[in-house]
A and B are shown apart, each in its own frame.
Chain A
């Protein structure tokens, strides 16, 4: 394994289609719930500790080699909104294609065979991290970072926010990001003894509501 594999996987330029998604940011900006740096930070922190923590747990468990189908089912149970399940599977399919080209492995091939429509993105991310020789904590870190990096980048485009301000915000969140990743990886370590119920299931009602609202809109910049 190489540490640099983590940089390749976490890079926004990794061709997994993430750039087309704002993680609910477009809907939050449209409804004027996010309008400046302070509300952006509150949004990102909320997303990190809810959807981000849940995704990080699934990614860590997949990176540890747990049954990806059981994890995919656990991801469905943690994603009650059809719009978010659809987005997660579409992103999962795109990431799987990129990951199989980057770090080919029998595990990724199997996942592509049993979930041709795509598995949940965090599960694929974890399986990709495993193929790249990365650890469950690496995968959790990557998922946690994605949960805030996407919305922060989208906010720059949607609000015309200073990119330096958005980056400073991400830097301020790094401590909490590490903490979320550690919590997620520790939970993944309990899966063999306690089952997938040990994984975080943190949810956020507003993220759920705005995801369905956004999916119903015909004119939008981001897919989610």
Chain B
């Protein structure tokens, strides 16, 4: 109760920016501009509070024959995109939260493309916090990652946190060319400290050359069925995956239990079927412990690709 009280009594940070973005709507008629979500208007008709934002941000990296360039950085809504200093020959972009998002009713899309031979890393500056917002309508947050031939993409966002009363449907759809390389990390935290979570649905779909490589859907928080039971999460409140797709990986590697302890968490490193890809599946009581498990797993993977 007290954990969520501040949400209802104070304005979340960034709400001013959210209102400004909406006010700018009529001036910016572009198809990807922030706009009200018409179907979500019913709940708060007549109120000044916008029921949700539509935002679609895009990043495109290419290779000019010598190095990776990022010719397209289209910031939108809560996604403020910033170039970071390259690390070696890998271009880096950070997604900075320009407003509190996702809130109920928001429709957010982030599209990242690494064209042939490009090397790109995209991260987020802070955790993504799903909040209830002015309506109980679900929010959607769709990430699309496309990686071309001999291109390499690292998608390493900070955790996604589901807070009480929020409903978020998150998807991450990855399309890989046959020679593409990928390092992907996704972490979900269910509730802030001692807070029950909202409802969080996540679907991770990875396709290589058009064929399904990995398809996983999780549903955590009330009213999902038995999500905290002994088949799904048990007492753990942080879940995550780390996926590495790299032609040098040996698909015949035996699976490895990285950690298997009720207090430290559980993590398994295992090869996917018939492809050079390794997946680390981890759950832990806290997101800090989860990150430690994923980092340990990544160290094993890096040793396997060295």
Contacts of A200 in B (CB 8 A): 217
Q: How many residues of A contact B (CB 8 A)?
A: 44
A85 touches B273 (CB 8 A): yes
**Chain B interface, >50% SS class:** strand
Whether a CB of chain A sits under 8 angstroms from the CB of B183 is no
Q: Give the contacts of B197-220 with A (CB-CB under 8 A).
A: 203, 205-206, 211-219
Contacts of A74 in B (CB 8 A): 212, 215
Most buried by A among B211, B262, B274: B211
Contacts of B211 in A (CB 8 A): 73
Known: A203-B217, A209-B283. A82 touches B231 (CB 8 A): no
Whether a CB of chain B sits under 8 angstroms from the CB of A130 is no
Whether a CB of chain B sits under 8 angstroms from the CB of A162 is no
Count of A-B residue pairs with CB < 8 Å? 127
A35 (CB) vs chain B CBs: closest residue: B230
A45 touches B225 (CB 8 A): yes
Alpha-carbon gap, A31 to B267, bound state (A): 15
Contacts of B268 in A (CB 8 A): 81, 208-209, 212
Whether a CB of chain A sits under 8 angstroms from the CB of B281 is yes
Return B279 CB to nearest CB of chain A, in Å: 5
B239 touches A77 (CB 8 A): no
B231 (CB) vs chain A CBs: closest residue: A46
Q: Give the contacts of B87-105 with A (CB-CB under 8 A).
A: none
Return B69 CB to nearest CB of chain A, in Å: 32
B257 touches A42 (CB 8 A): no
- Interface 1/0s, chain B 234-251, versus A by CB < 8 A? 101001000000000000
Alpha-carbon gap, A202 to B219, bound state (A): 8
**Chain A interface, >50% SS class:** helix
Whether a CB of chain B sits under 8 angstroms from the CB of A24 is yes
User: What are 24 A-B contacts defined by CB distance under 8 Å?
Assistant: A28-B230, A43-B226, A44-B231, A46-B232, A48-B225, A49-B219, A49-B224, A49-B225, A50-B231, A73-B212, A76-B274, A77-B206, A200-B217, A202-B218, A203-B216, A203-B217, A206-B283, A208-B281, A209-B257, A209-B260, A209-B266, A209-B268, A212-B255, A212-B270
Question: Residues of B with Cβ closer than 8 Å to A?
Answer: 203, 205-206, 211-219, 224-227, 229-234, 236, 239, 255, 257, 260, 262, 266-268, 270-274, 279, 281-283
Question: Residues of A with Cβ closer than 8 Å to B?
Answer: 24, 28, 31, 33-34, 39, 42-51, 73-74, 76-83, 85, 176, 196-197, 200-209, 212-213, 215-216
